[in-house]
Structure 1
Amino acid sequence: MYSRWKSETRRSYGVRSRDRERGELRRRRRPLRRGLRSARPSGPEEKRRPEGFKETVEAFRSAFPDVEMTLHEVLADGGYVAFRATEIGTHEGEFMGIEPTGRRVEMEGTVIHRLEDGKVAETWAQFDVLGLLRQLGAIELPR
């Protein structure tokens, strides 16, 4: 079962080549449980439910329409699937109040999904948003 989830995760997060040729960034829908919880302590409660999770993903894709995610490792065990990934894309739409810069950016992160009845029931994601904001020129770190 774990190897099936590892394979499904790789397929779900990949961009289909025919869609890329058409300039479309459509991804396969991951099966989400109705009561999905996205465990993001910094986000508002309404963004932790399935609809909020989907809105967050769509907002990111709107700001970075050519985003590509590369999975580096995918691990599955005991009802969990985890992966480390890098997303690369061009800032072409408003993001967190930042007007498009046209900059090509790269962001790394890790994601853990808890599975229940063959669907994602809970997810934890940590991405380097601070690094992303630096690349967009929105913040400067002190020296």
Structure 2
Amino acid sequence: MSDSVLSFRVRVDHGCLLVRDMQGDDDVSDWDPGSSNWYKSGSSVIFGVLPASEGRIECEVWKSRPHHLLPIRLFAEKIESPSGWLVIHDPNEHVRMAFRGSLGSTRVSALVDNRDFASKVQIVIGDDIE
């Protein structure tokens, strides 16, 4: 049985994705992708991926350690989630997927195939990936 919650393959116009509490509206506009490939503000994390002009990205969300880990841990952060639901989306919301986190606080890790221009992303909920 798989612990994968969801997966999608999509072009991401601005070359970034956000993971946040479903009801969160934190401002991530202070993120400077030239100085850091991810940024956290409140209950939101924004991170860089392959821009749409370069191709599609593949993204998976897992509730436990994936069977085949991607090689680079981009971040591991706690996200406050009063609703118990998290969402992953691009800034234009061409893709928006909701999934169950934990009520209160959820540990979220992102694994990628490339630190600067990820074409594959694994979001892991709850597990700390070392």
Question: Normalising by structure 1, what TM-score?
Answer: 0.34
- Bigger radius of gyration among the two: 1
Higher relative contact order (CA 8 A, sep 6+): 2
Please identify which structure carries the higher strand content: 2
Question: Normalising by structure 2, what TM-score?
Answer: 0.36
